[in-house]
Amino acid sequence: MNGMSGCGQVYPSPHPAVIIEMIETQSLTYTYAQHTPIFQDFNWKVEKGEAWAVLGPSGCGKTTLLYLLAGLRFPTSGAVLVDGQRLQRPRPQTGLILQEYGLLPWATVRQNVELGMRIRDFYGPDGKHAPSHAQEPVEIDVWLQRLGLADHQDKYPSQISGGQRQRTAIARTLALHPDLLLMDEPFSSLDAPTREGLQNLTLELRAEAGLTLVIVTHAIEEAAVMGQKILLLGMPPNTEPVVIDNPHAGKPGYRNEPEYQALCRQLRERMAAAV
């Protein structure tokens, strides 16, 4: 038997309308064996529909935070709540996109995009691996079209470009209709024009679906473009969340605004001070 014994929180909350937080960490502490805690008594909230960027130097715990939010790691103490429920396993409505190597190398683009649906069919709507209510069948073709992959759907990941691979990963995740999208440096291995194109596309898709977005990055410009709020992490232990507001993120042409430049400067200084 696993951690199911926990509490009533695995069941839907009786007052779903009350929940405005998509993510809440309560006294989150996370320690790798015998090291300084990466997070110590860390309290942080993300409201539904917000776009967050998590920015920090290597080794600050950005990726760990994302894995905690994805239900792939568990707190040493404290709790991570997503949509009001304590995470015990990856949540079916959360989408995760990693920097690289997330696609099955032995499956075509189309088979990769279908993978999430096939896994859901594999288990049926059991509420653990898939949402408990049966979902409408997903139009894979629509997503292939939308992300410009229709002409490449029978190719294998090794045959397409890095940008196309990340488009495939995005299509695969969004085809599952997530309400929370977690991204770990998703564009950092791409060249600049491809990166900007995919950043804009992600913002567009996020706005359409009203997704909550948490994107982890070490690139100041990416944080400034993607995050309406920016969580700045420093060297461990992280205790108090350092949050910078960036309300204009996501607006067309924001990259050329003076506010954007000023924010980048500010972030650069604060990051330098944190290391």
Partner 1 sequence: MKRRDLLLTVIGLLLSWQLASLLVNRPILPSPLAVVIAFFQELFQEDLLLHLLASLWRVLSSTMLAIALAAPAGLALGQSQTLNRIFSPLVYLLYPVPKVVLVPIVLLFFGIGDLPKIIIIFLILFFQILVLVRDQAAAIRPELIESVRSLGAGRRALFRFVYLPASLPAVLTALRQSVGTAVAVLYVAELFATRYGLGYYIYFNGSTLFDYPAMYAGVVALSLMGLALYFSVDWLEKRLTPWQFVHMDSRQGGSGPAQKKREHQAQGKQQTV
Which residues here bind partner 1, judged by CB under 8 A?
67, 70-72, 90, 92, 94-107, 115-116, 118-120, 122-123, 128-130, 155-156, 158-161, 169, 172-173, 176, 182
Which residues are paired to 80 by β-bridges? 25
Q: Is the CB of 6 or the CB of 124 nearer to partner 1?
A: 124
Q: What are phi and psi of 80, to 5 degrees?
A: -115, 120
- Cα separation, 238 vs 41, in Å, equals 8
Q: What is the length of the chain?
A: 275
Q: Is the CB of 135 or the CB of 239 nearer to partner 1?
A: 135
Q: CB-hemisphere CA count at 13 Å for 217?
A: 22
Q: Is the CB of 75 or the CB of 116 nearer to partner 1?
A: 116
Least distance (Å) from partner 1 to the CB of residue 237? 24
Q: Is the CB of 47 or the CB of 100 nearer to partner 1?
A: 100
The answer to whether residues 146 and 138 touch, using CB atoms and an 8 Å cutoff, is no
Least distance (Å) from partner 1 to the CB of residue 115? 6
- Cα separation, 125 vs 127, in Å, equals 6
Least distance (Å) from partner 1 to the CB of residue 129? 4
Q: Is the CB of 160 or the CB of 201 nearer to partner 1?
A: 160
Least distance (Å) from partner 1 to the CB of residue 30? 16
Least distance (Å) from partner 1 to the CB of residue 40? 24
Q: Which two tokens mark 255?
A: 């990259």
Least distance (Å) from partner 1 to the CB of residue 204? 23
Instruction: Please state, as a whole number, how many other Cβ atoms lie within 10 Å of the Cβ of residue 44.
Output: 20
Amino acid identity, position 189: S
- DSSP string covering 171-223, please? HHHHTT--SEEEEESTTTTS-HHHHHHHHHHHHHHHHHHT-EEEEEES-HHHH
Q: Is the CB of 94 or the CB of 238 nearer to partner 1?
A: 94
205 contact partners, CB below 8 Å, separation of at least 6: 170, 174, 211
